[in-house]
Each structure stands twice: as C-alpha cells, then as structure tokens.
Amino acid sequence: MKKTTLLTTITFAFLMLLSTGVNAQKFSKLDKSPMDAAAFPTSYKDANKLIKIVYSRPQLKDRELSALAPNGEVWRTGANEAAELTLFTDMKFGDTTIKTGTYTFYLIPNEKEWTAIISKDLNVWGSYFYKEENDVARLSVPVTTGDSLDAFSIVFDEADGAINMHLGWGTARVAVPFVK
C-alpha cells in the first residue's frame, strides 16, 4: 500500500512539473516605441483633466529627425498608431473652437514652423490613411531648439491663459496652444 501511494505521488509530481509549461502565456517583447500619455493638469492627484494625448515614443538612435518625420509630410506624431487627442472641454485651437471629444493629432514638420492638425479620424495606424477633408482645424506654430532628446516627448503646461502642448524630439521644440 505504501509503495502504491509513493508511486502515485511521484507520478503526480512529475506530471505537474511537465504541465506547467502547457498553460504559460507567450507575451511579446517590449515595444521599441512604447505608448505614453500626457495630460493637463499634469498632477496625478487632479482627476479633472482638460486635455490628454496618447502617443508612442520613438527614439532617434543616431538617426536624423528629418528621416523619421520628413519636412512637408503629414506625420502621425510619434510612432505606430497616430496620436489620439482627447479634449474634456471645448477649447479654442487658433480661431477654431474644438468640441469636447476624441480626435487624431497630426503634425507637418518644416524647418521654421510645424503645422498641427486635429482630425476627426479615429483608430488610425500611422499617417498612411490621412485625409485632409477630415481636418477639424490646423494651426501653424514656430519651431525652436533645445537640448537633444533621443525619445520623442510631449508635456503640457499653462501660460498666458493657454494650455500649451510642448513636443520635443532631437533639438526641435514646438509649443501648440489650446485656450479653454
């Protein structure tokens, strides 16, 4: 009787050891351009956000910004999916009032100014399917320079009655104003 119990226990333990790999999930590797989000107000303690953008963060990795976001071409504002902008209140974008809602946010880089585009398209991969007729508003903003950033980054601040979305990559810096 003891021999049978011992044999059963050993067999059961062996089967459990072999079966642990059967149910293991296969997770993909870390994305090279992970998704991130920036919002205003920036404090995590303030749940009453006014604006939020979800975007992917590509890295230059010794490449030129102009090769990844070419001048004069519509750019998805990051990598992978086009950036998704959510306004939690109506806001002015240049001369246009943008209604509360979710939009796609594109950019057209150029040497001295970038054009920021808010589009009613949603769930868009890259800028391959960009349609100008779906633009809600466009705004040209000047380009400045700063210390080099390898990873594309977006942050918000408030100044002069506007909520400014600051975008930076390489040495290029752009501030896109939204007025509440």
pLDDT at 17 over 80: no
Give per-residue pLDDT as tens, 84-143. Answer: 999 999 999 999 999 999 999 999 999 999 999 999 999 999 898 899 999 999 999 999
- Supply the pLDDT for residue 79: 93
Q: Considering the entire predicted model, what is its pTM?
A: 0.83
Give per-residue pLDDT as tens, 46-65. Answer: 999 999 999 999 999 999 99
The DSSP line for the chain is -HHHHHHHHHHHHHHHHHHTTTT---PPPPPSS-EEEEEES--TT----SEEEEEE--B-TT--HHHHS-TTS-B-SSSSBPEEEEESS-EEETTEEEPSEEEEEEEE--SSEEEEEEES--S-BTTTT--GGGEEEEEEEEEEEEEEEEEEEEEEEEETTEEEEEEEEEEEEEEEEEB-
